[in-house]
Amino acid sequence: MNAQSVTAVTGATGFLGSRIARALAEAGRPQALIVRDASRAPRLSGASVRQAEYGDSLAARAALEGVGTLFMVSGGEDPRRQQNQLAFIRAAARAGVEHVVYLSFLTTTPDSRFTYARVHHATEAAIVDSGMAHTFLRPNIYMDIVPYWINSAGVLAAPAGNGRVSLISRRDICEVASHIMLDPGPWRGRSVHLTGPQSLSFHDIVVTVSEATGRPARYVPQTEEEAYEARRAFAMDELELEASVSTFTAIAAGEFGQVYPDVEEITGHRATSLREFLTR
């Protein structure tokens, strides 16, 4: 890598990107924060702020000039998400970015039940085809959202059947990503699978929530049709609706139940369990 190149972090106004940017700043690493709204960017030592959106190719290319390693979060839930991400990847390649560390997803197949897994598959393929070096971080579903799955009556209603999921803490993802961004060379061409230490059924999840919080919770399996009908009450658009339901139908299909040791191997400590997350 060119000694004059800088590291760039996208999503620096969000939970993951901001923590990774802070870790780089604390390590004294010069970096560029690529954000949509410069006024919201964190003020960090050694960091410049560059404004660009994924779908704006000209702004993205200008923002990425001089960047050696790029941390790329996936775009927001938008009908143009895949199109915008592919435009950003083309801009990165044209700007001379050497290595993309992309925050992908555990399963990235073109026929996944989960809507966004298919988007991640297309994005990974575009990065590989671009000729830039790559590292794919593939986390499972964030355990941070589990409390939001349970309604005020203590019911987790979902079309997950008897499927299992190895939920991952966002803090563990941040720690792994920061480690890799500080020394990306050994991770070129590799995919890192990030899961929690357990593969949990939804019955396991509600029992853990009940025991950890003292608030009773129970799992009510839904059919796919029931799930769509229930979620329409939240005025979701069709893309959000499909993504929400397909999260659980993919779990039911066995796509998210794998457990990998990568978090512990990279950080030196065991991945956070759901119980630990809920009680810390």
Report the amino acid identity of residue 242.
Answer: E
Higher pLDDT, 52 or 81: 52
Instruction: Please report which confidence band the pLDDT of residue 80 belongs to, taking 50, 70 and 90 as the band edges.
Output: confident
Instruction: Please report which confidence band the pLDDT of residue 270 belongs to, taking 50, 70 and 90 as the band edges.
Output: very high
For residue 3, pLDDT over 90 is answered with: no
> Which H or E element spans position 59?
helix 57-63
Indicate the average pLDDT of the chain.
95
For residue 77, pLDDT over 90 is answered with: no
- Of residues 218, 40, 113, 43, the one with CA closest to residue 51: 40
Of the listed ranges 34-43, 56-65, 76-85, 222-231, the least confidently predicted one is 76-85
Q: Strands 164-165 and 200-201: what pairing?
A: antiparallel
Rounded Cα distance, 180 and 102, in Å? 11
Give residue-wise pLDDT tens across range 139-173. Answer: 999 999 999 999 999 999 999 999 999 999 999 99
- Of residues 2, 4, 9, 41, the one with CA closest to residue 182: 9
pLDDT of residue 235: 64
For residue 4, pLDDT over 60 is answered with: no
Give residue-wise pLDDT tens across range 89-101. Answer: 999 999 999 999 9
> Which H or E element spans position 243?
helix 238-252
Give residue-wise pLDDT tens across range 196-255. Answer: 999 999 999 999 999 999 999 999 999 999 999 999 888 678 888 999 999 999 999 999
- Of residues 279, 101, 90, 84, the one with CA closest to residue 179: 101
Phi, psi torsion values for 276, nearest 5 degrees? -65, -40
Q: Strands 164-165 and 190-194: what pairing?
A: unpaired
Q: In this structure, which topology does domain 6-142+168-194 adopt according to CATH?
A: Rossmann fold (3.40.50)
Length of the chain: 280
- Domain boundaries of the chain, sorted by first residue: 6-142+168-194
pTM for the predicted model, two decimal places: 0.94
Residues whose CB is less than 8 angstroms from the CB of residue 52 and which lie 6 or more positions away in sequence, other chains included: 34, 35, 36, 59, 60, 62, 63, 64
Neighbours of 170 (CB within 10 A): 17
